[in-house]
Structure 1
């Protein structure tokens, strides 16, 4: 049975793991995805939680950006399930693997729903249990990332739906073998192309682009008054007759 590990310890070990060959593969793959999804998102405030080594907002053009973690050299220190931001104050929130190591993943999503403005965007990534990477974590005595939650995507989507958070797009990354040897990583690089085509849900990492919907919200259009026949007195127009000239 795996020994319990708090969020701080888990993220510290995961950050160290990202410097390994396999971790660098994950980091590069996810950085490219975050760049693609965030570049055209606009608003006033954007926040990224945890993992200072991954700048998931580098391609985004929102001027007010902030990094948040419970430790390290970041702008704000706090817990992921208790963010120091007012309700409906953020336009973009990024959670790279936060749900994998948070003590209360559902609480993190509730907090994300609280701080996002209506139609605000949530970008998140996590490890997919239904993949070769999911099988890898079954080995005993493993450390992060293999001790993470590895949340099943259908369950995660159910949580999001209950909060009124709608998945706009889901993608999968990292089909290569989950091994640290650089030679085997390079040999299995063709799996990234073949897996995305033949096994689209089998990538080691899932990526979700989510929007906050607000039930009952509608766009109020200006109430233009129609000028009808009942409200206007018609003006007579003289006929063009020769006897009037």
Structure 2
């Protein structure tokens, strides 16, 4: 049974990739996975939500004005993501990385992102995969209050359902960065790179590229049945019909 997504108190989100085990490697892996999809995103305004999105290198984005939004610390705008400060339909794209898991009401956050996007705008979302082998490491009691385990993690399928309810079309998705997320391991992937070629779900991160769809309502005019007057029927037809007219 799925637990409710909303919680009373949210955990503190990571303020840098360096706070995560093998953070630099995770950042490079996610940037590489998103590169071909970012090349298809263009426009005038793009918002990077959270510190991880602020630091993520996405050189393929063809958006003229990019800015970051965080709750505090480094960032161009400090704001509460549940009460997005942007008007309706003003952003061409939103990038959110590792932030939804640390929000008090993730449904409300996604609604705000959707509201601020233009029609056919892009939402690029990435989060930690709760079904990967690294999640078992987080169940160890000493790790429960450490990053990245102190957040609430949602599966890719569950987030897809939320986006579908908001009229988003998932145009691309996948997993990346297979790792146990243990800082003391000599290799970040720790032998999972070969397994990920057969089972992609062992990746510690999932990503979604969604496009906001708006379907306009087209009024349909009802056709009224035409009443043919008696004098409009030819006389020959009236005679052939037996004179019932």
Measured against the shorter chain, the TM-score band is: 0.7 to 0.9
Distance 2:98 2:217 in 1: 31
Using the TM superposition, give the Cα deviation of residue 99 of structure 1 relative to its aligned residue in structure 2, in angstroms: 0.7
Q: TM-score scaled by structure 2?
A: 0.77
Matches within 5 A, 1:190-229: 190-195=191-196, 197-216=197-216
Instruction: Give the number of the structure whose residues are more often strand, by fraction.
Output: 2
Partner of 1:90: 91
Partner of 1:241: none
Q: Deviations over 1:212-244 (max 9, x none)?
A: 0113379xxxxxxxxxxxxxxxxxxxxxxxxxx
Cα RMSD over matched residues?
A: 2.3
Distance 2:164 2:21 in 1: 36
Matched, 1:59 2:26: no
Partner of 1:243: none
Name the SS of the counterpart of 1:183 in structure 2.
coil
After TM superposition, where is structure 1 displaced by more than 6 Å over at least 4 residues in a row? none
Using the TM superposition, give the Cα deviation of residue 182 of structure 1 relative to its aligned residue in structure 2, in angstroms: 4.6
Number of aligned pairs?
209
Using the TM superposition, give the Cα deviation of residue 27 of structure 1 relative to its aligned residue in structure 2, in angstroms: 1.5
Distance 1:16 1:76 in 2: 17
Using the TM superposition, give the Cα deviation of residue 72 of structure 1 relative to its aligned residue in structure 2, in angstroms: 1.3
Structure 1, 91-100 or 208-217: larger mean CA deviation: 208-217
Name the SS of the counterpart of 2:158 in structure 1.
helix
Measured at CA, do residues 22 and 84 of structure 1 come closer, stay the same or move farther in structure 2, by a change above 3 Å? same
Distance 2:89 2:194 in 1: 39
What are structure 1's unaligned runs of at least 5 residues?
219-245
- Contact conserved, 2:134 with 2:179, CA < 8 A, in 1? no
Partner of 1:221: none
Matches within 5 A, 1:1-245: 7=10, 10-11=12-13, 14-15=14-15, 18-19=18-19, 21-51=21-51, 54-141=55-142, 142=144, 143-185=146-188, 188=190, 190-195=191-196, 197-216=197-216
Distance 1:102 1:56 in 2: 23
